[in-house]
């Protein structure tokens, strides 16, 4: 089993989860800045945007998680701030980032659709990397599997998915692989002439949600709304909404 703590600075424990998430954010920021320059968007504008969107995404992701696990946090209020230990929801992060990004883009008279297209491939790449933070925390896994099944994966995966003497589906790995495939799709088509502003982001939403819907079905730590898995419900809504918007925009343009 991997120690979730990478190293210590005096009393401060630096966890692998935080390092992985930080690396994903840094790489996504660097690559999207390069794409923004190619599209003629000023680097200073993008940096100002990220200084607002990234904190909003972190807060949104944490609040979303806390809201749907309130039965635990109501009696452990200080744990709400223990982000380094895990407990983030990508849907909350996207909603938080979108809200602040929309306000900022509108004030600066910048096309929100263009900005979303710039960040979409690197957002899903960051998600692919960020899932490995779940690996170190032994979370975002599926149900119990046999040793024969888990042995098809590399040894370090098998070892980390041995929790209290039982092996579990490495659901984090499935989503990481799916996210990376979505990243490859987006960067392979992002220059195609049939795409309009916003199409790349909508395709990200649709394809990410398809994978998340199925992978969420095997997870054991899903956020729940009564008997319904919240991520699955939201994935269905995002797929339908994304397809409707995509179809409507192209139909309106006569394509």
pLDDT in tens, 113-154: 999 999 999 999 999 999 999 999 999 999 999 999 999 999
Tokens of 2: 């991997």
74: helix, coil or strand?
coil
What is d(CA 33, CA 59) in angstroms, rounded to the nearest whole number?
A: 23
- Residue range of the domain that includes 17: 5-252
Q: Looking at the predicted structure, is the pLDDT value of residue 255 above 60?
A: no
Q: Are 65 and 92 in contact (CB under 8 A)?
A: yes
Q: Is the pLDDT of residue 53 over 90?
A: yes
* Tokens describing residue 51: 């200084």
- Please state, as a whole number, how many other Cβ atoms lie within 10 Å of the Cβ of residue 156: 10
Above 60 in pLDDT, residue 217?
A: yes
Strands 162-163 and 166-168, how do they pair? Answer: antiparallel
Mean pLDDT score, 2-13: 88
Instruction: Write down the pLDDT at residue 84.
Output: 64
Distance CA 171, CA 232 (A): 15
How many domains are there within the chain?
1
The residues pairing with 8 across neighbouring beta strands, listed in sequence order, are 13
């Amino acid at each position: 089993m991997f120690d979730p703590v990478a190293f210590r600075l005096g009393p401060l424990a630096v966890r692998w989860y935080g390092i992985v998430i930080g690396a994903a954010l840094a790489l996504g920021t660097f690559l999207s800045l390069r794409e923004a320059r190619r599209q003629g968007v000023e680097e200073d504008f993008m940096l100002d945007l990220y200084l607002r969107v990234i904190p909003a995404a972190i807060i949104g992701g944490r609040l979303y998680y806390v809201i749907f696990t309130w039965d635990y946090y109501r009696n452990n209020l200080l744990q709400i701030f223990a982000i380094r230990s895990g407990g983030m929801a990508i849907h909350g992060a996207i909603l938080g980032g979108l809200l602040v990004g929309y306000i900022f883009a509108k004030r600066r008279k910048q096309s929100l659709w263009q900005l979303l297209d710039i960040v979409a491939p690197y957002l899903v790449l960051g998600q692919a990397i960020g899932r490995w933070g779940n690996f170190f925390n032994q979370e975002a896994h599926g149900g119990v599997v046999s040793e024969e099944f888990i042995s098809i994966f590399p040894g370090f995966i098998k070892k980390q998915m041995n929790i209290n003497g039982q092996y579990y589906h490495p659901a984090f790995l499935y989503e990481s692989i799916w996210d990376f495939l979505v990243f490859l799709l987006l960067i392979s088509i992002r220059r195609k002439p049939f795409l309009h502003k916003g199409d790349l982001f909508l395709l990200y939403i649709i394809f990410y949600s398809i994978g998340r819907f199925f992978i969420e079905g095997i997870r054991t730590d899903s956020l729940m709304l009564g008997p319904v898995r919240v991520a699955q419900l939201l994935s269905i809504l995002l797929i339908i909404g994304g397809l409707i918007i995509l179809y409507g925009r192209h139909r309106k343009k006569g394509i």
